Amino acid sequence: SERTNYAVYKNQIDNFVDDGRFRLYEMPFNADSSFWSSIAGMANGTFGAVADYERYLSQLGDTPRYFDQQIANMRAGVARGFVQPREALSGRDVSITAVTDPTDPLKNPFYAPFIDMTGISDADKQRLRRAAIEVIQQKVVPAHRTLLTFYRNEYLPAARDTLGANQLPDGEAFYQSQIRQYTSINLTPDEIHRIGQAEVARIRAEMETVMRSTGWTGTFNEFTRFLKTDPQFVYDKPEHLLWHGAWVVKKVDGKMSQFFGLQPRDTFSVSAVPANIAPFYTAGRGNCSLNTYDLPSRPRYNIPALTVHECNPSHAWHGKMRKEFPGIPEWRLQANISAFGEGWGLYTEKLGVEMGVYEDAYEDFGRLNYEMWRAARLVIDTGLHSKGWTRAQAIAFLSDNTALSDHEIQTEIDRYITWPGQALAYKLGEIEIVRLRRKAETELGADFDIRAFHDKLISLLVATIPAMTAEMEDFISQSKATANAAHAE
């Protein structure tokens, strides 16, 4: 509706204004993502014609200018103390050295699109490959070397000793703006902290119940230690993790028509997170990529919930829907409102119970483990950025309440430290979706149609949480009126 178009547009403009006000461009990276790894992602694009390769080469040739401007922005941030915390930056230059270390340009990650080149003539292959080697050697690698020198010699020594966003210039207002940006609602850090504590307590009770159903008689922490260390939960090789994910995707495929009337025409595939970013990357990402680095930190019981979230019926599936859905303005499709997309992702993990995704108590515990992880974020993010929490305190809280591996926990905490507010989106969005579904079930009773509810929700594609609530409450009212009219006949 135009109401939702307006809500999304205003949200995007407000965020843009806030980013300019706080000069967020002076800190153009965090422990999860960066401008240099973003351009590395261009190598994973679609290359079907000569023009695609030439466009890519032109973009690579612009790397020195782009990096120089980013470095100038970071220097401005350094000058006013708007910098990332040193404690969360250890080893983060690995994605830069992945480009500077290879002496053979053919082994450089930016050369990857030129290895196969299916459908390109031999003459064009030779010409484009020569051009690629030249631009990598003369533009891309030198720009990354300049960046690496700046990062190690200037940025790291100037990084701050504090952790909280509230310790940055105008920090409390900055953190509130990030909360608003990622959640699309205006809760205070204290309010979010309390919501998180209540959710942690509720989910912990459910986890204890599932734990007892396995026959475990020890403590919760002993159980999570068992889950983290017992070899039965570790894949033998990366392919086995990917095969498990693919099996979950196909299992969900067979259930989709029971829960959704809408279906995208296009499909997606399960893939591995690229090796050059995997060590510091999260467990998966929304193009249905799963992280196979350090297999002991990717236990079997977590993979079904992860796959539902990253693949279907969440991000990859919903992403295809976004590309095909009619009548939505292009600018709205390009918008990213984390609380809606990530709230939907977390909701689908719980929906997986109804879809029969989780095959035993361990996989169901894995689902609850992931829900607890998102609830704990509400406590940890606000603890770090408004209550003076230390990194060790944050690690201990996540470790005490989940069965996440030590590697995952440290990666996650560094992400929260360097990306204030983003981690709040998941649980706050999911809480509202669950509330709306319960309201629909209560008010419609036997007339509640799960397919119609989901179709209406996903057809919003992108929405702020207040706009989603307004649309879904209208849907409930209209459904009730239609049902009442039918019963009266």
> For 197-202, what is the mean pLDDT?
98
Residue 266 scores a pLDDT above 90: no
Q: In Å, how far are 177, 280, 444, 454, 487 from 475, measured between CA atoms?
A: 31, 42, 11, 11, 18
Residue 421 scores a pLDDT above 80: yes
The domain limits of the chain are 24-161, 176-428
**Whole-number pLDDT of residue 281:** 61
> For 353-368, what is the mean pLDDT?
96
Q: Which two tokens stand for residue 215?
A: 């026959």
Residue 292 scores a pLDDT above 90: no
Closest CA relative to residue 223, chosen from 361, 380, 359? 361
Under the banding of pLDDT at 50, 70 and 90, the label for residue 280 is low
Residue 464 scores a pLDDT above 70: yes
Strand partners, 223: none
Q: Cβ–Cβ contacts within 10 Å for residue 58, how many? A: 10
What type of residue is 144? H
Least confident among 114-118, 230-234, 277-281, 468-472: 277-281
**Whole-number pLDDT of residue 284:** 67
Q: List pLDDT tens digits, range 204-245.
A: 999 999 999 999 999 999 999 999 999 999 999 999 999 999
Q: List pLDDT tens digits, range 49-106.
A: 999 999 999 999 999 999 999 999 999 999 999 999 998 888 888 889 999 998 999 9
User: Could you tell me if 337 and 421 are in contact, meaning their C-beta atoms sit under 8 angstroms apart?
Assistant: no
- Helix residue spans in 387-464 (DSSP H): 391-401, 406-418, 425-444, 450-459
Number of Cα atoms under 13 Å in the Cβ half of residue 44: 14
**Whole-number pLDDT of residue 286:** 59
**Whole-number pLDDT of residue 72:** 98
Q: Which two tokens stand for residue 387?
A: 């209550």
User: Could you tell me if 434 and 441 are in contact, meaning their C-beta atoms sit under 8 angstroms apart?
Assistant: no
Q: How far apart are CA 307 and CA 290, in angstroms?
A: 8
Whether the model clears a pTM of 0.85, i.e. scores above it, the answer is: yes
Residue 489 scores a pLDDT above 80: no
Length of the chain: 489
Q: Which two tokens stand for residue 349?
A: 């993990």
Q: Which two tokens stand for residue 243?
A: 């095969």
**Whole-number pLDDT of residue 258:** 97
Residue 454 scores a pLDDT above 70: yes
154 secondary structure, DSSP code: I
Phi, then psi, of 117 in degrees rounded to 5: 60, 45
Pairing of strands 289-290, 271-272: parallel
Query: Mean pLDDT of all residues in the chain?
Result: 93
DSSP conformation letters of 236-285:
SSHHHHHHHHHHHHHHHHTTHHHH-S---S-----EEPPTTTGGGS-SEE
Of 68-72, 298-302, 334-338, highest mean pLDDT = 68-72
Q: How far apart are CA 104 and CA 397, in angstroms?
A: 45
